[in-house]
Structure formats: structure tokens, C-alpha cells
């Protein structure tokens, strides 16, 4: 069966979530989780709004997807996220046994690769999908934050 949508389509949906975070004053990171060509979870960073350091887009999406599926494992699911997951989110994704992670921009300082964190051995990873768009949004956010202070 041919897939009607590609990685760019779903990453654009994650970027829409990142834009919502941006408008709320949150670090603009968004995520969606897809199973069988259907988005089952949409999320963005909520760390400021919830005053919770664990309220990353990925963590919110994992919880929403698990609730939708009625179980803790995200096998046969793909997460699209606008920034490479951090060590904490990579650990949660490991335990969720998610099948695939597609991220836009690399996080050379705090990403799971830089920290040496391992994902589940069966999890496939693709990086660099709409990287420029995600990077530009993050840069714009931090430039605006610096100019406010």
C-alpha cells in the first residue's frame, strides 16, 4: 500500500505545533505521533505553562498516544518532532518501544546523541527532515527572547 503522505507532510504538522508553543512563549518544539497514516497525538512544549521541566513536546505526545491506543507501547508508531529528543525524552521513547522517530533539527549540545543516550534497538531514526524550517523557528524565538531582556 502506498502511503498518501510523506515525512515532510507530518513534519509540517509538528512545525504547526511548534508555532503554537512559540505563540505561548514556550521553546518552539512540536511533535506528532502517527500510526497507520493517522495522527493520533499532537503536542508542543508546555514547560512554562505547566511549570514542569518534564513537559516537553515528546513527553506530552507519548502520553496522548498511549491514552489513544489504550496501552503504554507505541509499536508501529512514528514520532515526528522538530528538534532531536533530549536524553529524558529519548529514555521515555526507549521505554515506549516506538518504531520510528523522525526529527528536524539536530541538538548538538543537548540531544540524545550528544549525551550518548541509546534508543530501543528496533527504533529507526531519521534526522534532518525540514531542518531549516525548525532551526529558523528556534533561532527566531531565542533572538526575540534576548531582545526582550
Q: Which residues contribute to the annotated binding site for Zn(2+)?
A: 56, 86, 89
* Binding-site residue positions: 56, 86, 89
| CA gap 63, 3 in Å, rounded | 26
| CA gap 13, 116 in Å, rounded | 28
Could you tell me which of 128, 99, 105 has the C-alpha nearest to residue 7?
Answer: 128
**Is 58 labeled as catalytic in the residue annotation?**
yes
| CA gap 128, 134 in Å, rounded | 9
| CA gap 66, 70 in Å, rounded | 6
Cα 88 to its chain centre, rounded Å, is 12
Provide the 10 A C-beta neighbour count for residue 114: 14
Q: Choose the catalytic residue: 19, 23, 48, 58.
A: 58
- Active centre residues (catalytic): 58
Amino acid at each position: 500500500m502506498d502511503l498518501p503522505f510523506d515525512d515532510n507532510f507530518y513534519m509540517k504538522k509538528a512545525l504547526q505545533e511548534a508555532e503554537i508553543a512559540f505563540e505561548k512563549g514556550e521553546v518552539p518544539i512540536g511533535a506528532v505521533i502517527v500510526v497507520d497514516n493517522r495522527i493520533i497525538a499532537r503536542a508542543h512544549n508546555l514547560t512554562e505553562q505547566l511549570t514542569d521541566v518534564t513537559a516537553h513536546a515528546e513527553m506530552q505526545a507519548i502520553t496522548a498516544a498511549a491514552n489513544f491506543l489504550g496501552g503504554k507501547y507505541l509499536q508501529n508508531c512514528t514520532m515526528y518532532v522538530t528538534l532531536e529528543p533530549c536524553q529524558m525524552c529519548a529514555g521515555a521513547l526507549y521505554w515506549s518501544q516506538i518504531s520510528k522517530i523522525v526529527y528536524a533539527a539536530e541538538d548538538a549540545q543537548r540531544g540524545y546523541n550528544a549525551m550518548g543516550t541509546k534508543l530501543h534497538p528496533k527504533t529507526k531514526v531519521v534526522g534532518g527532515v525540514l531542518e531549516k524550517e525548525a532551526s529558523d523557528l528556534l533561532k527566531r524565538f531565542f533572538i526575540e527572547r534576548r531582545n526582550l531582556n
